[in-house]
């Protein structure tokens, strides 16, 4: 379905970003990966799916590096047809204890990076009259949780950015939508499970149940594969007129 298209997924060396990259690759899209840590493993996983893969190590908190990444994408594959703004970090602390540097980093990586990548991707998408921008927000783009001020502010912000991007592209073949996952068991969430286990003297399994029980009636983690299939749907022709939605996949979290 996506043969000949190029997808750039930020923060795709791990977790949800890698899951979405694999789902798009299975549909034939060439992939540009981004993110830290092991890069050879994820590149090999994508290449094994029979598509072209490239990697750029831009730090998404730096606008000049995002510009370099978008130029690299255009030089390597012609243009970016599908942009998935996914890179994100978390920090948990009460507002009065929240390190200012963590606030700045979360807003830069979880929100401002999406503005930069979007503004740089849009001209070529509009010229081609086809494009997909998918913002990985969170249930925290729709509701709040204590001790996550920067994350909740950034995620509400990216849901707003999604709506404005959708409105500005509405007369074109470019669409923009957001995905709002509940708990997904990635390294970002495992750190929160570990903190719960340490604080309450629980096993890993007990801490996972406690975390799910606080928020998700389904008592199940959403998987990167399930989120990847939602991204595929947003890229399909059936989604041509799906614009500006914030689609939760959250085990009932926000239905309460």
Q: Strand 30-34's sheet: what is its strand order?
A: 53-56, 30-34, 6-9, 82-85, 131-136, 174-181, 246-249
Q: Kindly tell me which of 1 and 38 has the beta carbon lying closer to ligand NAD.
A: 38
Residue 151 bears catalytic tag: yes
142 binds ligand NAD (CB under 6 A): no
The residue from 11, 131, 228, 251 that contacts ligand NAD (CB under 6 A) is: 11
Q: At what angle do helices 113-128 and 63-77 cross, to 10 degrees?
A: 30
Q: What crossing angle do the helices spanning 15-26 and 40-47 adopt, rounded to 10°?
A: 20
Give the closest residue to 44 by CA, choosing from 55, 36, 35. Answer: 55
The token pair at 200 is 């309450």
- Total chain residues near ligand NAD (CB under 6 A): 29
Piece in contact with ligand NAD (CB under 6 A), picked from 28-36, 120-128, 161-169, 239-247: 28-36
Q: Is the Cβ of residue 43 or residue 172 nearer to ligand NAD in the bound state?
A: 43
- Residue 14 as a binder of ligand NAD (CB under 6 A): the answer is yes
Any contact of residue 183 with ligand NAD (CB under 6 A)?
yes
DSSP result, 91-102 = --B-GGG--HHH
The one segment of 56-64, 72-80, 160-168, 207-215 that binds ligand NAD by CB under 6 A: 56-64
Piece of the chain touching ligand NAD by CB under 6 A; list 22-30, 57-65, 159-167, 200-208? 57-65
34 or 175: CB nearest ligand NAD: 34
Closest CA to 119 of 63, 159, 163: 63
Please list the helix, strand and coil fractions of the chain in percent, rounded to the nearest 5, in that order: 55, 15, 30
Of 136, 159, 211, 246, the residue at the interface with ligand NAD (CB under 6 A) is 136
Site residues (vs ligand NAD, CB under 6 A): 11-17, 34-37, 59-61, 86-89, 109-110, 136, 138, 181, 183-184, 186-189
Q: Where in the sequence numbering do the catalytic residues fall?
A: 151
């Amino acid at each position: 379905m996506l043969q000949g298209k190029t997808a750039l997924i930020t923060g795709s060396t791990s977790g949800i970003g890698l899951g979405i990259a694999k789902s798009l690759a299975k549909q034939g899209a060439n992939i540009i990966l981004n993110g830290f840590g092991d890069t050879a493993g994820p590149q090999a996983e994508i290449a094994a799916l029979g598509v072209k893969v490239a990697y750029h190590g831009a730090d998404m908190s730096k606008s000049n590096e995002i510009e370099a990444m978008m130029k690299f994408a255009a030089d390597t594959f012609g243009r970016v047809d599908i942009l998935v703004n996914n890179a994100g970090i978390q920090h948990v602390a009460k507002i009065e204890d929240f390190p200012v540097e963590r606030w700045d980093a979360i807003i830069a990586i979880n929100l401002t990076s999406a503005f930069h990548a979007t503004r740089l991707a849009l001209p070529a998408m509009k010229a081609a009259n086809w494009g997909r921008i998918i913002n990985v927000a969170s249930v925290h783009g729709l509701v709040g949780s204590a001790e996550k001020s920067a994350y909740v502010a950034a995620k509400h912000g990216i849901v707003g950015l999604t709506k404005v991007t959708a409105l500005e592209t509405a007369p074109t073949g470019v669409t923009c939508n957001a995905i709002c996952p509940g708990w997904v068991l990635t390294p970002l969430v495992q750190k929160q499970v570990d903190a719960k286990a340490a604080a309450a003297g629980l096993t890993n399994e007990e801490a996972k149940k406690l975390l799910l029980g606080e928020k998700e009636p389904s008592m199940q983690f959403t998987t990167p594969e399930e989120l990847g299939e939602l991204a595929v749907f947003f890229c399909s022709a059936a989604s041509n007129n799906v614009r500006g939605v914030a689609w939760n996949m959250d085990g009932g979290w926000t239905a309460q």
